[in-house]
Amino acid sequence: MQKVCYDDSSLKSLISPDVYTSFADQLEAVETMLNKKTGPGNDFLGWLELPEEHSPSFLDSIQKQADDARQQCDVFICVGIGGSYLGAKAAIEFLSSTFPQQRTPEVLFAGHHVNSDYLKDLLSHIEGKRVIVNVISKSGTTTEPGITFRVLRKWMEDAYGQEEAARRIIATTDPEKGALRKLAERNGYRTFDIPDNVGGRFSVLTPVGLLPIAVAGIDIKELVSGAREAMKYCSGTDLTTNIAARYGVNRNCLLREGKTIEMLAAFQPQFTFVNEWWKQLFGESEGKDRTGIFPASVVYTTDLHSMGQWMQEGLRTIFETFLRVDETRETVEVPHFEDNEDNLGYLVGKSFEYVNEKAYEGTLKAHRDGGVPAATITVADRSADSLGQLFYFFEKTCAYSAYLLRVNPFNQPGVEAYKKNMFAFLGKPGFEDFE
């Protein structure tokens, strides 16, 4: 069942029909580029059919490892950065209970920055706990996860001895080559493969994301079957049914009309890291050749009390995409108090979600009146099925949108620039002469 809806009805009058048509007319070409794999970056289109290609036995094997890990550890530490971090983090935060104390095992992250204070806190936190480390890196030489894994590997070998440490380290890496693959073979770590034709920001439905997500107790078969469902409605050139294409067309229309910032505005706090995952997906796919919408995000109503003023009356260079859950898991109602000192008595018996819904409707109208074009993505519920659909919907939108913008969605040449400087400053062999 389709669990992601995209409502752009309030955008219609704000986009010139001619501009819309000119982009829509090019959709067939883009759809062909994707289906026939003829566009730029076409060797990284593995994510397109991934949800259909995962066999039940493949998912079973991940589930089996995850079940074992859930028995054998209190803390499961993922070592990775960028796409090797954000997908799992987004899924776990969206689908789990709020407080870390409510999660067993705890899935934690490391190697996603370079910070001794964090690392010492982590080492102190895991003291006396049963730990498994999942190091996630295609090459095994990326600086942040690389040096962090050195620290954790040493900690594990000191704590467990070399043999048991090796049993408690899982490497998710290139199927054949690379430093981490070699290290895993030499030391006998269990391994999972990162497919060659899937880039980091599209990797949440590979073992990169699936293993930690399963360890967190989330049903990965449901997640993948959700993505498979979204494959159906996120394809074809009919813009009434293919909501990914429509979202991609709208983004390009709005950019062309001077809206250079997109604000993804979630109405539930559980979306916080879905927002972050989305920013990597779109920022890294489109921010090149001196173009690309700037992806920003907020969580409402929290941030109506911080960025709300700017949204309402600031520079009119922005459009907004709301992101909301239709059915929360729980329902809390506003309780009655005789005194009614706060004048909120008119809400007694109403659910929090009813109030939140009216806040959303009020914001949509207010921002629209203030000159911010807005559309809304609604996800049915906080289920793995819904999230799998949402992931795939965003990925497909991104491909349409970037191809319409005429950039290669699947490379990231600019990410190397700071690294080259950093290597030179660090005196890395081979980079001495780089300036």
284 is catalytic: yes
- The answer to whether 130 contacts a second copy (rule: CB under 8 A) is no
**Nearer residue to a second copy within complex by CB, 142 or 242:** 142
Task: In angstroms, give the least distance from the CB of 48 to a second copy.
Answer: 21
Of the candidates 376, 287, 282, the one whose C-alpha atom is nearest the C-alpha of residue 324 is 376
Task: In angstroms, give the least distance from the CB of 313 to a second copy.
Answer: 4
User: Of these, 9, 71, 176, 417, which contacts a second copy (CB under 8 A)?
Assistant: 417
Q: What is the DSSP string of 80-97?
A: --GGGTHHHHHHHHHHS-
Cβ(295)–Cβ(320) below 8 Å: no
With contacts defined by CB under 8 A, how many residues of the chain interact with a second copy?
130
- The answer to whether 338 contacts a second copy (rule: CB under 8 A) is no
CA distances from 419 to 84, 414, 434 (A): 18, 10, 11
Sign of torsion over alpha carbons 399, 401, 406, 410 = negative
Per the DSSP assignment, residues forming a β-bridge with 340 are: none
- Residue 416's φ and ψ, nearest 5 degrees, are -75, -25
Q: What contacts 238, CB < 8 A, 6 or more positions away?
A: none
Residues from 146 through 205 that contact a second copy (CB under 8 A)? 146-147, 149-151, 153-154, 179-180, 182-183, 186, 200-201
- The answer to whether 349 contacts a second copy (rule: CB under 8 A) is no
Catalytic residue among 284, 286, 320, 353: 284
- The answer to whether 5 contacts a second copy (rule: CB under 8 A) is no
333 is catalytic: no
- The answer to whether 369 contacts a second copy (rule: CB under 8 A) is yes
Catalytic residue among 12, 177, 419, 420: 419
**Nearer residue to a second copy within complex by CB, 221 or 382:** 382
User: Of these, 8, 31, 93, 144, which contacts a second copy (CB under 8 A)?
Assistant: 144
Task: In angstroms, give the least distance from the CB of 227 to a second copy.
Answer: 21
Give the span between the Cα atoms of 165 and 193, in whole angstroms. Answer: 20
- The answer to whether 323 contacts a second copy (rule: CB under 8 A) is no
- Residue 211's φ and ψ, nearest 5 degrees, are -65, -55
Give burial (CB, 10 Å; 0-12/13-18/19+) of 379: buried
Residues from 272 through 301 that contact a second copy (CB under 8 A)? 276, 279-280, 283-284, 286-292, 294-296, 299-301
- The answer to whether 380 contacts a second copy (rule: CB under 8 A) is no
The catalytic residues are: 284, 419
